[in-house]
Amino acid sequence: MVVAEPTGRSMADANDRETDRLAALDALDILDTPRDDGIDRVVRLIKHVFAIEIGIVSLIDAHRQWYKACSGLLAEEVPLKDTFCRYVVACDEPLVVEDATKDPRFARHPAVTGADHLRFYAGVPLKTRDGHTVGTVCAIDRSPREFTPRDLSVLTELAGVAMDRIELLQSAATDGLTGTLTRRAFREEAEKLISLAVRHQHELSCIVLDVDHFKRVNDTYGHAAGDEVLKAVAATCQSNLRASDLFGRLGGEEFAVILPHVDSKGAVAAAEKLRAAIAAQTIHGDFGSLAVTASFGTSTLSTKTRDGGTLLSQADAAMYLAKAAGRNRCVDWLSLDAGYQAGPRQRVLKAGTILFDDSHSSIDCTIRSLGADGAAITVSNSAGIPPEFVLVVAGDGFEAKCHVVARDRQNLELAFG
């Protein structure tokens, strides 16, 4: 069974559909979250049931396919334009390719012609209860093979199991690895503390921290060592925070803190205390001994910053500036120079396009936060993106000239104008 690429849809309809799809994905709040044993089990079942080499459960945002669980491939994500799965998302239908060398869409694909040597692909939509395709569930092999209607039915059922597990994770309050609050639970509790601070007019600040060069730890020492690093960082933070502070894990190696009754100066002091404690510790395990550092961003409640989304987005942006400045340091959102306005931000998940070289070159991106004066975006690889370009959000009819304030391998902090 081979599903053709969709035709006949207007650009406006396609933009509206993608906007709705990304909104459904955003509501799940699952992107870049830690591994989960339940979804890992689905991937193992895919490999076992179909006797194939590669199983994947993925989520797809505006520019990439991110693997929530993957067995048989080393990558954690791939650009959307390079995936077989973009056809599944475009059509909202399963796609089966029994021999990729005989399919004109994939015969010259690097994953087919190169070292991965992919031949067989079966992908089904990962759909919400409202029918939005937020990702895919895939069975992949390095040899051509047949895939019967019964096989496709079984893979579709496994996709349903994966979706059930994702929805169940929304109710989880505690991160299984570190014992901290999950991202969703942290955000919900943060909003309560912020509401109290606004109502009673007391200070409140936020810290976002990210372990430096964490991918290097995993690549060099293995994921077990990475897990030990995360547990050690979390334990160090918890032992250096007050009982009244809120602490949670936002993503793979990213954590956040809400500090009630703490102003901007106090937030920087607290972040510096955490930074020094993390840098001073040595982590021991079967992998030997290693040390890590972390980068910190802080933000504080103000007349412009009165919600959790803005507070976290500002602290996150400041953290990326800390990384751009050399890592293992703290940056306060309010300390940014006058040329970079510290305005409110809204957390979003939108499809964007970067235009440069007089609009002759373009790169897809996902917008993570947006304000009147700037944005935070994610790309597959920031190398080659110039310091100034035009950001377009087709679904909103938005276009703005930007300059890059800070960047790492995949994230860019932008100022408009």
Residues annotated as part of the active site: 253
Per-position b or e across 359-380, b if 16+ CB within 10 A of its CB: eeeebbbbbbbbbebbbbbbbb
Distances (CA, A) of 397 to 22, 77, 400: 17, 29, 10
Beta-carbon count within 10 A of 100 CB: 22
Contact (Cβ atoms closer than 8 angstroms) between residue 212 and residue 293: yes
Beta-bridged to residue 71, according to DSSP, are 55
Element (H, E) at 254: strand 254-260
Helix axes 37-50, 149-169, angle to 10 degrees: 170
Residue 286 phi, psi (nearest 5): -60, -20
Q: For residues 63 and 78, what is the distance between their CA atoms, to the nearest angstrom?
A: 9
Element (H, E) at 120: strand 120-127
Beta-carbon count within 10 A of 10 CB: 8
Contact (Cβ atoms closer than 8 angstroms) between residue 240 and residue 254: no
Cα-based torsion angle of the residue sequence 221, 223, 227, 230 in order, rounded to the nearest 10 degrees: 70
Question: First CA to last CA across the chain, in angstroms?
Answer: 49
Structure tokens at 185: 């639970």
